[in-house]
Structure 1
Amino acid sequence: MTVHRKLLINGEDVAALSGRTTEDVNPYTGEVYATVAAAGVEDVTRAVDAAEGAFEAWAATSPFARRRVLLAAADLLDSRAKEAAEVMAGEAGGTVPWAFFNVALAANILREAAAGTTAPRGEVLSAQEDGVLGLAVRRPVGVVAAFAPWNAPLILGIRAVAAPIAVGNTVVVKASEDAPIACALFLADLLREAGLPGGVLNVLTNAREDAAEIAEALIADPRVRAVNFTGSTGIGRIIGIHAARHIKPAVLELGGKNAIIVLDDADVDYAVDAAVFGVFMNAGQICMSGDRILVHQSIAEEFTAKFTAKVAALPAGDPSDPSTVIGPLVSVGAARRVADLVTDAVAKGATILTGGGEPQGAVHPATVLGGVTKDADIHHGEAFGPVCVIATFADDDEAVALANDTDHGLTCGILTENGTHGLAVADRIHTGIVHVNDQSVADEPQAPFGGTKSSGYGRFGGRWGLEAFTTTRWVTLATKHAHYPF
């Protein structure tokens, strides 16, 4: 049965003013999973109207009341894990384990945001003048424009809105065209049921061909005071340009070209297990996925044999089957793009160690490449699919040089049984995140999350995420009359 959804504006499900809708396709079956309203620029204005109208009351709502809503939404999300998994499979081909991971982390992001509602919001300053009390007070910015992606829809959809709402902002979220229900409407339903007042969270869905116009109109609205975006570096550059043009702060969490480094003192079997997870979870469609496995030459032969054997045995196919590891990519076109990367690499000298071949619809085989040359497209470009490159290094200096040889700087995993060795290497890696004796994929709601270089700027998570959606106001209170020169 096809699902039908409207926009969410001011707490109500409403059709687009034009009456247009757009299709949401199941990438595994190719069938229409849902139809959703196709917003126009006029609907952007309606959504911002609602958010602006709700802001003063929500900002004045007690932190304890905001916390109750967020905690209730977290419990509701936990209770609907099976429904969430069905939506993720239907919209974006998410496997069952990936969906349950999304539910658990998204619920904890809500709980962390709830805890942040009563966190300290300022400092007492040392004033220059005698008898003056100086304060630095953090206040909500107002209306926040949020962009929710499809690949980890529950995690990143909640991350886009939880911290802004927790500190008293209102939000207009533009949903991904590839998972508009999972990344926005489903989550908004939970928050509405948990007691979130109308207008605090508004959801826009749109046809793919209208995406650029909708995004630009949302950022350009003068009542929008901050922007957050998670997605590709290419689109992130456009979002950043729009935000800068209108002098609005932005948090941008963009793509990665992440390395998993296997040092000579690693436990090989553990390193294999870690690297397979870090590369192939969600078919490699995670910004933190390990595109590159860098292995010390002394253990490269053993590691590569065990790694490729494990990859070759990964179950692939139907995302609704709990045993599936390699589900479909988000679209047939995405699978074709990955296949073209592999073909290009082989044409330029690479060797397929396992996998390769033609995708079956949106399902691309788990693939490992060796001998990739610098002129191959996959050498610098983000794969964002079930494919990785293995390369070797002779010493730490070479490992660091290889890991840093990218315009991106999101995350890195360093596998070693020697913590001090791992930390010494980690200190030289140019990423916003690094994990010693673990792979590259990890996210915790209380930790600062974000990258450097072309992986973006600003931080989600913990107090850093709360601060990103507040502004600092200097307030003074004179306890005695001042003297003026005239």
Structure 2
Amino acid sequence: MAPPRSAAAAKRQAAAHVVLGEECLRLNPADGTIASRVPALRAAEARKVASRAALAFASWSRESGAARAAILRRAAALMQQDRARLGMLMRDEIGATQAWQDFNLDQAIWQLEAAATLAQNLSPEPVPDAGGHNLVFREAAGVCLGIAPWNAPLALGVRAVATALACGNAAILKASEICAGSHLAIGDILSAAGLPPCVLNIVTHAPEHAEEVVEALISHEVVRRVNFTGSSRVGRRVAEMAASGLKRCLLALSGKATMLVLEDADLEAAAQAAAYGAFLNQGQVCMSTDRIIVADAIADRFIALLQAEAESLRAGPPEEGARLGPLVSEAAALRLEDMIREAEARGARRICGGARRGTFMDATVMDHVEPGMRLYSEELFGPVVAICRAASEAEAISIANDSAYGLTSAIWSRDTARALALCRQIDAGSCHINAPTLIDRPDMPVGGVKDSGYGRFGGLAALDEFTELRWVSTSSPLGQP
């Protein structure tokens, strides 16, 4: 999920695009070569797309769950076969490393398979009573708009539309201008799998036309559901636009994931999990480990282990043996550099990393991060992790909850009962014991609290987001006059 951008940062990001007539070109963040070229739609074209989706909805909503499931499973198989091309597309558009390419592909395939399972389990629920019979149906809502971010192109692009399609809705994916080629590929794969025309529609645009396109889609009368994954700043605006049309909205927004490391933790395993959670995809994930709260008694030992993990994660071109790729833009790297400099001026200590080389930044560990520092309060969205020290459980929980965000968290302790009790005290949509903060499963309810949004992707909870409940009653038992 991208953090809010200043005007200067937005200008630098726009330099990563070239608009040629009705086409928008995305430039590779590592070397400036052309990564992808897509149609640059405006508001009028976006509204026409929504109207076509509404026409396609009528027949698609009448398809059986088994038929919808078969298409979704074929799409999963096609994506598996096309892994190499899709991985290279993500590498060129966002600088995805091999590990992040694999994560995206595995998650997207899993999302499609999980959605197929849901499609086959939408039977009406009988609620009998003495005087007759009641049925509760889940009906497709209509046209569902998904707005997906750039940082996990396939995983979050598929998530934005898969359950909607499984439930019989037509869907629109408003692609990110940063990874529009990857998002268009999702539509190509589902079309090749047999999805009828206009049931899924991918809308691409130039960066400067993002707001007008989003407003045109959300305000269109045929759009009945909106899901948005991205920054809290933009999420508020999306929620306002949806609310004006009384449209249900699912928001998966910014995070500032916290990991608690207690004095009885397996420190080596915790350090490995922290490095994975903080630095996968250069930390550009809403579930990335932003803050690690460490018990005073073991802080120095844990930090030494984490430092060793971090120092092995050098950023640069993969052909040079680097394990971290570029940040999405130089603006993102400059923002992190400013935050590190500000924290050091206020007393934080840099353990390793922090030097910027264009869009590249090595894994960075900052110790003694405290309230008042931007590293403490803002979503980092880069290869930087902040360490806070705590003298007690109560202080650790207090620090963990001292955040506007509440997406995901983790606790490391050999005492599972103790960790479980602490999990229940953390304001977050999920908490993982002896695991990284960065865990995503399409069969589990994924979402946040506070400024991290509301609603849930994944599992049966997602059905509420993409269907309408309809109560049908009869005055006598079914099958009788």
**TM-score clears 0.5:** yes
For residues 444-467 of structure 1, what are the alpha-carbon distances to aligned partners after superposition, in whole Å with 9 as ceiling and x for unaligned? 111110000100000001111233
Alignment of 1:243-254 (within 5 A): 243-254=242-253
Cα deviation for residue 126 of structure 1 reads 4.7
Matched residue, 2:228 = 229
Letter in 2 for 1:306: L
Equivalent of 1:441, from 420, 438, 442?
A: 438
Asked if the contact 1:233–1:455 (Cα under 8 Å) also holds between the matched residues in 2, the reply is: yes
Equivalent of 1:23, from 22, 25, 30?
A: 25
Matched residue, 2:292 = 293
Where 1:460 maps in the other structure, the secondary structure is coil
Where 2:71 maps in the other structure, the secondary structure is helix
Letter in 1 for 2:405: H
Letter in 2 for 1:144: C
* 2:327 is the counterpart of 1:329: yes
Cα deviation for residue 321 of structure 1 reads 4.5
Where 2:429 maps in the other structure, the secondary structure is coil
Matched residue, 2:108 = 106
Cα deviation for residue 373 of structure 1 reads 3.3
* 2:412 is the counterpart of 1:415: yes
Matched residue, 1:3 = none
* 2:154 is the counterpart of 1:154: yes
Alignment of 1:26-175 (within 5 A): 26-126=28-128, 131-175=131-175
Matched residue, 2:423 = 426
Change (3 A) 1:51 1:19: farther
Change (3 A) 1:98 1:227: same
- In 2, distance between residues paired with 1:181 and 1:341? 32
Matched residue, 2:341 = 343
For residues 254-295 of structure 1, what are the alpha-carbon distances to aligned partners after superposition, in whole Å with 9 as ceiling and x for unaligned? 010110110111011111111111110110001000100111
* 2:374 is the counterpart of 1:377: yes
Matched residue, 1:389 = 386
Matched residue, 1:5 = none
- In 1, distance between residues paired with 2:464 and 2:118? 10
Cα deviation for residue 478 of structure 1 reads 2.4
- In 2, distance between residues paired with 1:244 and 1:345? 39
Percent of pairs with identical residues: 39
- In 1, distance between residues paired with 2:361 and 2:250? 32
Asked if the contact 2:142–2:223 (Cα under 8 Å) also holds between the matched residues in 1, the reply is: yes
Letter in 2 for 1:271: A
Letter in 1 for 2:184: L
Asked if the contact 2:35–2:89 (Cα under 8 Å) also holds between the matched residues in 1, the reply is: no
Change (3 A) 1:107 1:322: farther
Where 2:469 maps in the other structure, the secondary structure is strand
Change (3 A) 1:322 1:364: closer
Cα deviation for residue 348 of structure 1 reads 2.2
Letter in 2 for 1:64: A
For residues 397-446 of structure 1, what are the alpha-carbon distances to aligned partners after superposition, in whole Å with 9 as ceiling and x for unaligned? 11111111101000001111211111011111110010001120001111
Where 2:160 maps in the other structure, the secondary structure is helix
- In 1, distance between residues paired with 2:352 and 2:240? 41
Asked if the contact 2:65–2:120 (Cα under 8 Å) also holds between the matched residues in 1, the reply is: yes
- In 1, distance between residues paired with 2:475 and 2:40? 54
Cα deviation for residue 104 of structure 1 reads 1.0
Cα deviation for residue 35 of structure 1 reads 2.0
Deviates more, 1:195-204 or 1:321-330: 321-330
Name stretches of at least 5 consecutive residues in structure 1 with no aligned partner: 1-17, 481-486
- In 1, distance between residues paired with 2:201 and 2:21? 18
Change (3 A) 1:52 1:125: same
* 2:241 is the counterpart of 1:239: no
Question: CA RMSD of the aligned region, Å?
Answer: 1.5
Cα deviation for residue 229 of structure 1 reads 0.6
Cα deviation for residue 121 of structure 1 reads 3.9
- In 2, distance between residues paired with 1:388 and 1:77? 33
Deviates more, 1:147-156 or 1:18-27: 18-27
Aligned residues: 458
Matched residue, 2:7 = none
